[in-house]
């Protein structure tokens, strides 16, 4: 499902020359699970049209600028999952975001990678995009991706 309704959030997304992607289904888990007004978004990787946009370890194979781009795309995929759950981008409020960054032990800039995803959410959702957040460095992520993002949202 895509955002069929137009509204301020969708207009802001389009002004950034972005659109919500269609997420591939998975036989082992769902992209979101709604519990009451809470929407739990499964960890999203920076996929676009079925292709992983980057691989490697940040601080060794992937530089900070590229890691930020990948984080923005993973956040965009999270928004797509949230819209699947509620049907309209203007009904999404981000509550919490957890950003995993596959990085070298001495990298230490995981929060800057996460800032790029946070910035996108605020650009698109305004105050509804502000959230609690954790950014952590990890030894590895699925498919050797540099970034994975998990979210908890609320339906408005």
Q: What confidence tens digit (pLDDT) does each residue in 47-95 have?
A: 999 999 999 999 999 999 999 999 999 999 999 999 999 999 999 999 9
- pTM, entire model: 0.94
Q: What is the pLDDT of residues 112-143, one digit of tens each?
A: 999 999 999 999 999 999 999 999 999 999 99
Burial 97-109 (b: 16+ CB within 10 A, else e): bbbbbbbeeebeb
* The pLDDT of residue 4 is above 60: no
Domains identified in the chain and CATH numbers = 8-155 (3.30.1330.40)
Band of the pLDDT at 1, cuts 50, 70, 90? very low
CA 28 and chain centroid, separation: 20
């Amino acid at each position: 499902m895509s955002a069929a309704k137009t509204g301020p959030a969708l207009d802001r997304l389009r002004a950034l020359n972005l659109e919500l992607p269609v997420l591939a289904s998975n036989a082992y888990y769902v992209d979101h699970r709604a519990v009451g007004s809470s929407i739990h978004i499964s960890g999203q990787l920076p996929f676009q049209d079925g292709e992983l946009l980057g691989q490697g370890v940040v601080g060794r194979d992937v530089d900070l600028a590229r890691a930020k781009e990948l984080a923005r795309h993973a956040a965009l995929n999270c928004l797509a999952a949230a819209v699947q759950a509620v049907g309209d981008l203007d009904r999404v409020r981000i509550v919490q975001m957890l950003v995993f960054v596959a990085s070298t032990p001495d990298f230490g800039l995981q929060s800057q990678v996460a800032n790029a995803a946070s910035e996108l959410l605020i650009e698109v959702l305004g105050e509804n995009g502000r959230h609690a957040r954790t950014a952590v460095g990890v030894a590895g992520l699925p498919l050797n991706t540099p970034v994975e993002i998990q979210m908890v949202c609320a339906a408005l």
